[in-house]
């Protein structure tokens, strides 16, 4: 927790806090801890130079004041609205005493021991706008909470800049501008114009009168014609922005006649109470500012002004009364009114003020060490200094008492850190384990006397950090399990065998530490209830352990032994386990199977354990990951929700293409002739998908497992999906990862390593296309070598030396291995595109499109007709393309989805100066937009991941990307797009400059951060050289670090300002199309990825339009989520990122989508408990068995 401050200190800081100079000071006086006082360094001013020392005056009509007779902490709210006549800032102090959380004992009452309120800044509720250019003029809001446990008081401080800026005052009072307005008035009004120029004070005085009339409306005074003599010469047209900002309105009484313009006074609503903020407050505030400015004018220049002066009274006493600090205990003979000198920094450190009595100083100290434990050594040092400086016997006694309780000063703490070679400035960044480790490393090399001194120094550090772990280490005591593990340098998950090993390493030849080691082992043995460790303590040795039930469950990563387990998942784990682990895992499986049957009546033929705690009849099933299929699972879940597509799959026999050569003549998909082989593969995929979709509908469980063939057919873009993909070549680096989708590697369960002893077959094509249970497919997947008959006869004795053994052939991959290799070579768009091609190849067409492309349901649902226009001479050239998705780039900054699409469809320049743009001639009902997260950085020569947050729209309007809309013909829409392109040109200039500021050779740092780090490095280097006092060393110029720091700040401002300007430009672009809403599309699905360039995981969010809710489909888990999960940026070290979004045409959402279709069968109807998908019997002819006659045998005998 941050340090706090007492109520008088808060008030003193408020009266000296000037937002205009906060940036120069480098800290916020109200909310930041004051700089720590060091007598050996130049003093830091408590108040920045030129800061305004506010003399606050009360604004009665906006205040709710506490009364002197009434208890200031009564259960209500006090508001002291004030303003400073020197800087004209408005400052509201709201003291909220209402009890909202059961806190009833307010400070400084008979029921409380607290002598004063002690406030801590509440950063969660603070909302200051001090960000970016011009932040010194932004409004601020700060909230402070009393640190007393039972006190409900909160203080809200609102600070608002003047409503009239210096530029506004210059506009109203500058004589040159007034003379110009007078000349313009004579030109506009002729003889009716006033004959005398307005005085500098007249504009202020007239505006003050107008605002007073607005607050107290009188019939006939609400209208001001432009041709009014006084108004025309004083305000003219130069002050329009000032008047409109204050609520004035204007209109023309005669259209086309500028001289008929009339202004109307603001119309503020009646006051709703001091706690409400309305236009009335703005007008009242402006009157106070005008009154102050007028009264500061020379008296002879303001004769007769102001006509209605204000005479506010000081606000300080009211604020003190509201904060319950109007009559606190002070040092005799010293009061705040006579104390004009700046307090010693130690007072500010304790959150106190200089006139506090000794009792209040001790109260402030006690509160500070509670809320800011890490700095208690500094606070204790401040208390020591104040005790000496004030010559207070009471304080000196308390200092001695605290010292006897283990308190140490900062000087003593610094010496303790330095005794271990730790720089005190770095200590706050080090954890307790690091400090203890440093202590232990020194302990072995010093004498017993020096060891005792080291423990004393460690105890000082432990007391300062309030660390029981460090204190225990300093006392050399072993009492707890954690201390025993720490002494042996172990963690909780370490097995018993390694505990004994560490005892041997720790003791070695130090026999004196053996007793301590045995005590540590004894504590660990009792905590773990380990009979083997007890045996070691008694006999000095341990028997080899039998596998216990806990280890059996742990082998399968099962943490809850009381829950029913999924036996099929366990069997799959065993199947893919390394050979050396299979026997152990099989034994563990048998133990778990017996334990589950005996204790939980869970047998291997029962249904699986539930993953999702929702009714089976109304909730979608989850899909189990079979290895690198998290993205494919997301695609399958998405496709299942597209109702026409799902119906096609479930009734596919009605739609399947005749594979005969006559029927396939002229059939083209993707501009390629479709072969009979391709049709067979595609129809196998459709049949597999039909079986799978049926299981998704009827499964009596809440998860199902896709068949391997579905993954193979979807991911392998060949006519023989089980064949091995093209090798990356002998020089390519081996990749043991699980592959990638959209170039991003995927995290998932690793498969068993290839069997190095397996031998290559002569042919592997289509080796597992048949039944998984056939001998052929098993041989093709396992390749255990020739049969025993082929090798039973012993080889003849060699007649010559054996030849050099041939190199072993590369092991043949299994089906899953091929799937993973294919996944590495494709991105997300290619996977979904391949599935769409499979559908089109498998089904009959409805007609022909351009270039004889087949028209079918897939084209109707997902493919948009896109036109690209190249502005060539003498006339533009058009090309047309069918697209099933749009690929956009996040752009390395947070922005909305429209901005990314604008880049894709916007005007771009090609070679030769030719420009190009795209538009959608006919938009598909389903729009898929993929985000290019993984990109190649040419300068770095590596892939980089763009984690920028893309703001998604619930409803996306495609109008701006179309050829024409219902309300806009093509030419009018093109004009809007040309205006958009002009602004996009400005955006690109900003992007180039921003990219130059963002890109550096240092990963994770932009240019400003790199310059800042260079400044810090040079400053540290200069400091080291000064400490070494070596004139021979080249020392950087002393001003270089400061110059770099200043440059870094300027670069940060430039970067922030560019982001603001780019966001503003994008908002202007959006405003061009704010009326274009003829073609709405609703957000249906969001493909999401978490990870980086070297690993990650996919899931999908899908919206259920029938039930109006979002679900997260994360492999086998399907859960309910809120909109914030989809639309808000995730705050995390590695936040998730959307990689693809799907929108559905609004008028078709209920026709096209249906998120849930479930008709679960009774459990009795299932022959197997879990739904484990098998390949569909699609009548593909049995494949030839793999021939082994050419396999090379490496046994030292030449093959015959």
Distance between CA atoms of residues 1140 and 929, nearest Å: 6
Q: Which residues pair with 883 in a beta bridge?
A: 864
Residue with tokens 């956009």: 888
CB atoms within 10 A of CB 109: 13
Q: What is the pLDDT of residues 618-657, one digit of tens each?
A: 999 999 877 667 888 899 999 999 999 999 999 999 999 8
| 1044-1049 mean pLDDT | 75
What are the angstrom distances between the C-alpha of 922 and each of 505, 860, 877, 925, 971?
A: 75, 10, 19, 10, 17
Closest CA to 758 of 823, 820, 715, 817: 817
Q: Are strands 886-888 and 926-931 parallel, antiparallel or unpaired?
A: parallel
Instruction: Judge whether residue 1182 has pLDDT over 50.
Output: no
Neighbour-count burial for 529-567, b at 16+ CB within 10 Å, e otherwise: ebebbbebbeeeebeeeeeeeeebbebbebeebeebbbb
Distance between CA atoms of residues 1036 and 638, nearest Å: 61
Helix axes 279-296, 202-215, angle to 10 degrees: 150
> The tokens of 334 are what?
């010293």
Distance between CA atoms of residues 1069 and 102, nearest Å: 51
What are the angstrom distances between the C-alpha of 520 and each of 220, 434, 523?
A: 93, 21, 5
**Beta strand segments in 1043-1079, E:** none
Given pLDDT bands bounded at 50, 70 and 90, which one contains residue 55?
Answer: very high
**DSSP letters of 628-662?**
S-HHHHHHHHHHHHBHHHHHHHHTGGGTBPP-SHH
Distance between CA atoms of residues 5 and 347, nearest Å: 10
Top-confidence residue, 743 or 379: 379
Q: Which residues pair with 1089 in a beta bridge?
A: 1098, 1137
In this structure, of 111-115, 271-275, 280-284, the range with the lowest mean pLDDT score is: 111-115
The pLDDT of residue 809: 38
Distance between CA atoms of residues 957 and 1079, nearest Å: 5
Given pLDDT bands bounded at 50, 70 and 90, which one contains residue 542?
Answer: confident
Distance between CA atoms of residues 1099 and 1096, nearest Å: 10
Instruction: Judge whether residue 789 has pLDDT over 80.
Output: no
Instruction: Judge whether residue 826 has pLDDT over 70.
Output: no
Top-confidence residue, 1024 or 127: 1024
Helix axes 897-905, 970-998, angle to 10 degrees: 110
The pLDDT of residue 556: 81
Closest CA to 112 of 77, 84, 153, 69: 153
pTM for this prediction:
0.45
**DSSP letters of 54-78?**
---EE-GGG-BPPPSSS-TT-SSEE
Distance between CA atoms of residues 64 and 990, nearest Å: 49
Candidate ranges 184-193, 459-468, 554-563; pick with highest mean pLDDT: 184-193
Distance between CA atoms of residues 65 and 79, nearest Å: 6
Distance between CA atoms of residues 1157 and 696, nearest Å: 8
Q: What is the pLDDT of residues 361-385, one digit of tens each?
A: 999 999 999 998 888 888 999 999 9
Rama region for 138: left / alpha / beta (φ>0; ψ in -120 to 50; rest): beta
Map residue 1117 onto helix, strand or coil: strand
Distance between CA atoms of residues 1103 and 1082, nearest Å: 10
Per the CB < 8 A criterion, the answer to whether 652 and 840 are in contact is: no
Q: What is the pLDDT of residues 680-711, one digit of tens each?
A: 999 999 999 999 999 999 988 888 888 878 88
Residue 855 dihedral angles phi and psi, to the nearest 5°: -95, 125
What are the angstrom distances between the C-alpha of 861 and each of 543, 865, 1143, 1146?
A: 68, 12, 12, 14
The pLDDT of residue 824: 47
Sign of the four-CA dihedral 23, 26, 31, 37 = negative
**DSSP letters of 526-544?**
HHHT-HHHHHHHHHS--PP
Instruction: Judge whether residue 669 has pLDDT over 60.
Output: yes
Q: What is the pLDDT of residues 1100-1159, one digit of tens each?
A: 999 999 999 999 999 888 999 999 999 998 887 678 899 999 999 999 999 999 999 999
Instruction: Judge whether residue 785 has pLDDT over 50.
Output: no
Distance between CA atoms of residues 566 and 571, nearest Å: 9
The pLDDT of residue 716: 62
Map residue 903 onto helix, strand or coil: helix
Helix axes 410-419, 448-465, angle to 10 degrees: 130
Instruction: Judge whether residue 143 has pLDDT over 80.
Output: yes
CB atoms within 10 A of CB 978: 11
The pLDDT of residue 142: 93
Top-confidence residue, 1048 or 640: 640
Helix axes 166-173, 202-215, angle to 10 degrees: 110
Sign of the four-CA dihedral 667, 670, 673, 675 = negative
Instruction: Judge whether residue 1163 has pLDDT over 70.
Output: no
The pLDDT of residue 793: 43
Given pLDDT bands bounded at 50, 70 and 90, which one contains residue 84?
Answer: very high
Q: Which residues pair with 909 in a beta bridge?
A: 915
Per the CB < 8 A criterion, the answer to whether 630 and 1139 are in contact is: no
Top-confidence residue, 1034 or 648: 648
Distance between CA atoms of residues 1089 and 984, nearest Å: 29
The pLDDT of residue 264: 92
Distance between CA atoms of residues 613 and 632, nearest Å: 24
| 939-950 mean pLDDT | 82
The pLDDT of residue 104: 75
Distance between CA atoms of residues 541 and 723, nearest Å: 55
Instruction: Judge whether residue 528 has pLDDT over 70.
Output: yes
In this structure, of 8-17, 132-141, 200-209, 1159-1168, the range with the lowest mean pLDDT score is: 1159-1168
The pLDDT of residue 842: 93
| 525-545 mean pLDDT | 81
Distance between CA atoms of residues 669 and 833, nearest Å: 11
The pLDDT of residue 532: 82
The pLDDT of residue 712: 80
Q: How far is CA 429 from the centre of its chain?
A: 23
Instruction: Judge whether residue 63 has pLDDT over 50.
Output: yes
CB atoms within 10 A of CB 591: 17
What are the angstrom distances between the C-alpha of 421 and each of 441, 457, 637, 796?
A: 12, 12, 59, 75
Per the CB < 8 A criterion, the answer to whether 117 and 6 are in contact is: yes
Q: How far is CA 110 from the centre of its chain?
A: 47
Distance between CA atoms of residues 682 and 485, nearest Å: 60
Closest CA to 1159 of 696, 703, 704: 696
Q: Are strands 668-669 and 249-252 parallel, antiparallel or unpaired?
A: unpaired
DSSP 598: H
The pLDDT of residue 473: 77
Q: Which residues pair with 249 in a beta bridge?
A: 264
**DSSP letters of 714-762?**
HH--SSSTTSPPPP--TTSPP--S--EETTEE---PPPPPP-TT----S
Distance between CA atoms of residues 365 and 381, nearest Å: 11
């Amino acid at each position: 927790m941050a340090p706090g401050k007492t109520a008088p200190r808060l008030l003193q800081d408020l009266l000296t806090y000037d937002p205009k100079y906060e940036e120069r000071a480098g800290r916020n006086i109200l909310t930041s801890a004051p700089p720590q006082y060091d007598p050996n360094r130049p003093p830091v001013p408590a108040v920045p130079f030129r800061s305004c020392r506010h003399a606050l005056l009360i604004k009665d009509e906006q205040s709710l004041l506490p009364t002197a007779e009434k208890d200031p902490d009564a259960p209500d709210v006090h508001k002291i609205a004030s303003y400073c006549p020197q800087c004209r800032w408005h400052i509201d102090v709201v003291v909220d005493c209402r009890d909202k959380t059961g806190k009833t004992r307010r400070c400084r009452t008979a029921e409380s021991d607290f002598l004063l309120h002690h406030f801590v800044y509440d950063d969660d509720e603070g909302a200051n706008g001090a960000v970016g250019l011009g932040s010194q003029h932004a409004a601020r809001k700060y909230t402070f909470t009393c640190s007393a446990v039972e006190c409900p008081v909160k203080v809200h401080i609102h600070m608002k800049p003047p409503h009239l800026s210096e530029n506004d005052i210059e506009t109203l009072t500058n004589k040159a501008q007034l003379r110009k307005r007078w000349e313009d008035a004579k030109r506009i009004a002729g003889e009716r114009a006033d004959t005398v120029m307005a005085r500098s004070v007249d504009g202020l005085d007239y505006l003050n009168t107008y605002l007073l009339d607005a607050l107290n409306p009188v019939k006939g005074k609400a209208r001001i014609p432009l041709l009014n003599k006084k108004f025309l010469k004083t305000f003219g047209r130069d002050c329009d922005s000032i008047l409109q900002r204050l609520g004035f309105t204007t209109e023309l009484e005669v259209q086309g006649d500028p001289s008929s313009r009339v202004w109307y006074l603001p119309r503020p609503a009646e006051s709703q109470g001091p706690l409400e903020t309305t236009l009335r407050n703005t007008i009242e505030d402006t009157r106070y500012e005008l009154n102050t400015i007028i009264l500061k004018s020379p008296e002879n220049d303001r004769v007769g002004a102001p006509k209605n002066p204000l005479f506010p009274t000081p606000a300080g006493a009211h604020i003190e009364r509201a904060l319950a600090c109007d009559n606190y205990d002070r040092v005799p003979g010293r009061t705040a009114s006579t104390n004009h000198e700046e307090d010693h920094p130690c007072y500010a450190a304790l959150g106190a003020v200089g006139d506090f009595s000794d009792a209040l100083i001790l109260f402030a100290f006690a509160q500070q060490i509670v809320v800011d434990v890490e700095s208690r050594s500094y606070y204790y040092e401040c208390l020591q200094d104040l005790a000496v400086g004030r010559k207070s016997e009471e304080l000196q006694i308390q200092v001695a008492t605290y010292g006897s309780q283990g308190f140490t000063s900062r000087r003593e703490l610094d010496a303790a850190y330095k005794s271990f070679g730790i720089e005190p400035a770095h200590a706050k960044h080090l954890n307790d384990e690091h400090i203890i480790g440093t202590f232990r490393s020194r302990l072995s090399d010093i004498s017993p006397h020096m060891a005792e001194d080291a423990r004393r120094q460690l105890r000082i550090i432990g007391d300062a950090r309030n660390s029981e772990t460090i204190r225990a280490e300093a006392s050399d005591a072993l009492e707890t399990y954690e201390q025993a593990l720490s002494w042996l340098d172990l963690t909780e998950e370490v097995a018993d065998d390694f505990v004994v090993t560490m005892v041997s390493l720790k003791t070695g030849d130090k026999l004196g530490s053996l007793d301590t080691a045995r005590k540590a082992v004894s504590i660990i043995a009792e905590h773990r209830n380990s009979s083997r460790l007890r045996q070691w303590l008694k006999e000095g040795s341990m028997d080899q352990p039998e596998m216990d039930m806990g280890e059996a469950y742990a082998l399968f990563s099962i943490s809850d032994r009381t829950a029913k387990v999924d036996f099929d998942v366990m069997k799959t784990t065993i199947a893919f386990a390394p050979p050396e682990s299979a026997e152990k895992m099989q034994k563990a499986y048998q133990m778990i199977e017996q334990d589950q049957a005996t204790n939980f009546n869970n047998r291997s033929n029962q249904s699986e354990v539930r993953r999702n705690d929702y009714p089976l009849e109304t909730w979608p099933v989850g899909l189990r990951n079979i290895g690198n299929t998290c993205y494919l699972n997301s695609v399958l879940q998405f496709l299942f929700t597209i109702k026409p597509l799902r119906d096609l799959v479930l009734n596919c026999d009605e739609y399947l293409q005749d594979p005969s050569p006559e029927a396939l003549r002229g059939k083209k998909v993707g501009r390629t002739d479709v072969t009979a082989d391709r049709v067979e593969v595609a129809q196998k995929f459709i049949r597999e998908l039909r079986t799978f979709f049926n299981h998704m509908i009827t499964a009596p469980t809440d998860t199902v497992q896709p068949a391997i063939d579905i993954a193979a057919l979807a991911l392998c873009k060949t006519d023989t999906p089980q064949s091995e993909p093209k090798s990356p070549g002998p020089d390519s680096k081996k990749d043991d990862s699980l592959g990638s989708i959209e170039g991003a590697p995927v995290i998932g369960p690793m498969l068993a390593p290839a069997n190095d002893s397996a031998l290559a077959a002569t042919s592997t094509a289509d080796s597992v296309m048949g039944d998984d249970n056939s001998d052929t497919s098993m041989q093709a997947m396992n390749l255990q070598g020739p049969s025993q008959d082929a090798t039973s006869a012993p080889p003849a004795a060699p007649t010559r030396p054996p030849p050099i053994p041939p190199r072993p052939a590369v092991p043949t991959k299994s089906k899953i291995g091929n799937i993973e290799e294919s996944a590495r070579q494709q991105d997300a768009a290619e996977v979904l595109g391949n599935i769409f091609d499979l559908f089109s190849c498998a089904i009959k067409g409805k007609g022909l499109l351009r270039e004889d492309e087949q028209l079918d349901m897939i084209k109707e649902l997902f493919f948009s007709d896109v036109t690209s226009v190249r502005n060539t001479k003498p006339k533009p050239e058009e090309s047309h393309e069918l697209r099933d998705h749009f690929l956009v780039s996040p752009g390395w900054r947070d922005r909305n989805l429209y901005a990314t699409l604008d880049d894709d469809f916007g005007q771009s320049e090609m070679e030769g100066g030719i420009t190009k743009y795209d538009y959608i001639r006919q938009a598909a009902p389903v729009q898929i937009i993929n985000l290019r997260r993984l990109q190649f950085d040419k300068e770095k020569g590596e892939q980089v991941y763009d984690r920028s947050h893309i703001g998604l729209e619930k409803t996306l309007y495609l109008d701006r990307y179309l050829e024409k809309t219902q309300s806009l013909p093509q030419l009018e829409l093109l004009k809007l797009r040309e205006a958009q392109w002009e602004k996009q040109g400005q955006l690109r200039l900003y992007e180039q400059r921003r990219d130059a500021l963002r890109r550096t050779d240092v990963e994770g740092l932009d240019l400003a951060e790199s310059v800042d780090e260079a400044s810090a490095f040079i400053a540290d280097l200069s400091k080291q050289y000064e400490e070494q006092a070596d004139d021979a060393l080249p020392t950087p110029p002393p001003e270089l670090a400061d110059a770099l720091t200043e440059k870094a700040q300027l670069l940060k401002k430039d970067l922030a300002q560019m982001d603001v300007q780019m966001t503003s430009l994008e908002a202007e672009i959006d405003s061009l199309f704010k009326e274009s809403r003829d073609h709405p599309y609703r957000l249906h699905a969001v493909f999401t990825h978490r990870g980086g360039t070297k690993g990650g995981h996919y899931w999908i969010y899908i919206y259920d339009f029938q039930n109006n809710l979002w679900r997260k489909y994360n492999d086998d888990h399907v859960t309910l989520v809120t909109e914030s999960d989809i639309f808000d940026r995730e705050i995390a070290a590695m936040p998730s990122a959307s990689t693809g979004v799907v929108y559905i045409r609004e008028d078709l959402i209920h026709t096209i989508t249906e998120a849930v279709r479930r008709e679960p069968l009774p459990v009795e109807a299932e022959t197997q408990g879990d739904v484990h998908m098998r390949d569909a019997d699609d009548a593909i002819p049995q494949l030839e068995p793999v021939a082994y006659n050419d396999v090379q045998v490496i046994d030292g005998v030449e093959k015959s």
